[in-house]
Structure 1
Amino acid sequence: MAPDAPAPDDDPLAEAGYLDVPPAEGGSAGRGWWDANAEEYLDEHGTFLGPDDFCWCPEGVREADAHLLGDLAGARVLEIGAGAAQCSRWLVGQGVDVVATDVSAGMLLAGRRYDEQTGARTPLVLADARALPFADASFDVAFTAFGAIPFVPDADRVHTEVARVLRPGGRWVLSVTHPVRWAFPDDPSEHGLTATRSYFDRRPYVELGTSGRVRYAEYHRTIGDHVADLVGAGFVIDRVVEPEWPEGHERTWGGWSPVRGALIPGTAIFVTHRA
């Protein structure tokens, strides 16, 4: 889960926790949160992510090593929830035809600055993953690294849209917070090793402003939920990758840490293809 961020001056944080909120409010909060916090997020994590590197997760799995997208020669690739498009920028450097999308103009603006810094030309498109502005069957591969899926109450719509824009047989790869982590406190220390919530409690983690407005929302899905959403959208699940915490990796990222990573999984990566 994303770390708490400074509240906007006009609506300071009043409450945070696992709360029931109207889906429309929770699902629309991400755009404003990422716009407001893009710079802080990149200041904190930008060095680890790099301006033009493809990192799947806080465990540090890189596409250069994992090859989860397969052979991309001649493929047209779509990134969903790209943030500042670090992954797509890396693909551009590999000669891949790729388009990066995100709902946050603030994140895409940061991506444009990364382009200037690296000399890359990364196609960036402002778009909600639940309503992609692309023609049917126009991509061969789609992926997201912790983008879009956690921040909407209706992830099935994201999968349905991705299925629409993929050609038959097209690959869809997504990394998300491992569902088992939601039973544990988001604490990187030993205190985060004792389950305190039901794994089946699907209430989102929510931050409310003093106005009562939803400032941030992140949604929990069980492994079964993810499988049902993917299969329901017409995808075949080829494998599920659960990265182990690598030896010598000492970086803490929110609730991810060597302490917790030694005992419980932090990330799940679903590798699928359109039937």
Structure 2
Amino acid sequence: MGDGWSDGTNSVARRESGQAETVAANRSWWDREAEDYLDEHGDFLGDAELVWGPEGWTESQLRVLGPPEALRGADVLEFGGGAAQGGRWCAAQGARVVSSDLSSGMLRTARHIDARSPGPAPTLLQSDATRLGLADSSFDIVFSAYGATPFVADSAGLMVELARVLRPGGTLAFSTSHPIRWAFPDVPGPEGLTATASYFDETPYVEDEGGRAGYVEHHRTMGHRIAEILEAGLVLRAVLEPEWPADNTAVWGGWSPLRGQRFPGTAIFVATRPRG
């Protein structure tokens, strides 16, 4: 999975990786790769745009979070926000935004963008998304575009933590790699069109560097993702599987027009916390 092997990667494997190892590996990886990631994908993501995935669909197009006026005056948390592009877009709509990320390197890139951006900037917070350290019921909207969800071992605990900080009646929305992709090789060409692994195998993907994990991604089936949302006490409102736009010719790691025209690359989950 991911964007390809990192410098220093000796081997890749499907093996178990717990929360502590996963956090340490991914914090180090994103600290090291933050600037290169922004150099490679910054034009695609923009400085103040909420792009839901490599397909290129934006919040302005999909309205996953609701009508734009729903953001005006709202308290919004972007978890796994990276360089806070999505949080910056929400702030421009009039929201009060906190953008959190595990990586100090990613938050450093966020500050660089803030320095050159004319619009309002979100408050930045370095935090493990499974342990946010924020008050209960403090946000109207909690969202992430590909942040945190595939990079934590305790994804059930993540949903519980996000539900905790969400106000009754509030919305949780997050995008992540579509679960079906884990059955296919993560390459953009024809080799990526034939399933070679079991969709039901939830063993993590681990890049090893000198005997330690350097990067980890975690897979959940569609059924398990939905179950984790429901078990956190949330009400699932929608699961979106955006098609590949005809005008997007970009290749992003294993995402490509060839594959995107045949099966989904992104899943977007939308849930609310009950009022009662």
Q: Which residue of 2 aligns with 1:183?
A: 183
How far residue 23 of structure 1 moved from its aligned partner, in angstroms, is 4.1
User: Distance between the aligned counterparts of 1:172 and 1:26, measured in 2?
Assistant: 24
Aligned equivalent of 2:48, options 45, 49, 52: 52
Question: Compared with structure 1, are the counterparts of its residues 94 and 23 closer, same or farther at alpha carbon in structure 2 (3 Å cutoff)?
Answer: closer
Question: Compared with structure 1, are the counterparts of its residues 177 and 263 closer, same or farther at alpha carbon in structure 2 (3 Å cutoff)?
Answer: same
Q: Which residue of 2 aligns with 1:263?
A: 262
How far residue 108 of structure 1 moved from its aligned partner, in angstroms, is 0.4
Q: Which runs of 4+ in 1 moved over 3 A?
A: none
User: Distance between the aligned counterparts of 2:59 and 2:78, measured in 1?
Assistant: 13
Q: Which residue of 1 aligns with 2:138?
A: 138
Task: Give CA-to-partner distance per residue, 1:231-261, whole Å, 9 cap, x none.
Answer: 0101111010000011121001111101000
Q: Which amino acid aligns with 2:104?
A: A
Q: Which amino acid aligns with 1:47?
A: D
How far residue 137 of structure 1 moved from its aligned partner, in angstroms, is 0.6
User: Distance between the aligned counterparts of 2:267 and 2:246, measured in 1?
Assistant: 19
Q: Which residue of 2 aligns with 1:129?
A: 129
Q: Which amino acid aligns with 1:273?
A: T
Taking structure 2 as the reference length, what is the TM-score of the superposition? 0.95
Q: Which amino acid aligns with 2:235?
A: V
**Contact 1:77–1:97 under 8 Å retained in 2:** yes
User: Distance between the aligned counterparts of 1:31 and 1:75, measured in 2?
Assistant: 29
Corresponding position: 1:29 with 2:25: yes
Task: Give CA-to-partner distance per residue, 1:93-144, whole Å, 9 cap, x none.
Answer: 2221111000100000000000011134321111110111211111111001
**Contact 1:184–1:193 under 8 Å retained in 2:** yes
Q: Which consecutive unaligned segments of at least 5 residues does structure 1 have?
A: none
How far residue 13 of structure 1 moved from its aligned partner, in angstroms, is 1.8
CA RMSD of aligned residues (A): 1.2
Q: Which amino acid aligns with 1:26?
A: T
**Contact 2:250–2:257 under 8 Å retained in 1:** yes
How far residue 27 of structure 1 moved from its aligned partner, in angstroms, is 3.5
Q: Which residue of 1 aligns with 2:72?
A: 73
User: Distance between the aligned counterparts of 2:74 and 2:244, measured in 1?
Assistant: 31
Partner of 1:130, secondary structure, is coil
User: Distance between the aligned counterparts of 2:239 and 2:174, measured in 1?
Assistant: 10
Partner of 1:13, secondary structure, is coil
Corresponding position: 1:39 with 2:38: no
Question: Compared with structure 1, are the counterparts of its residues 106 and 264 closer, same or farther at alpha carbon in structure 2 (3 Å cutoff)?
Answer: same
Partner of 2:43, secondary structure, is helix
User: Distance between the aligned counterparts of 1:195 and 1:4, measured in 2?
Assistant: 19
Q: Which residue of 2 aligns with 1:94?
A: 93
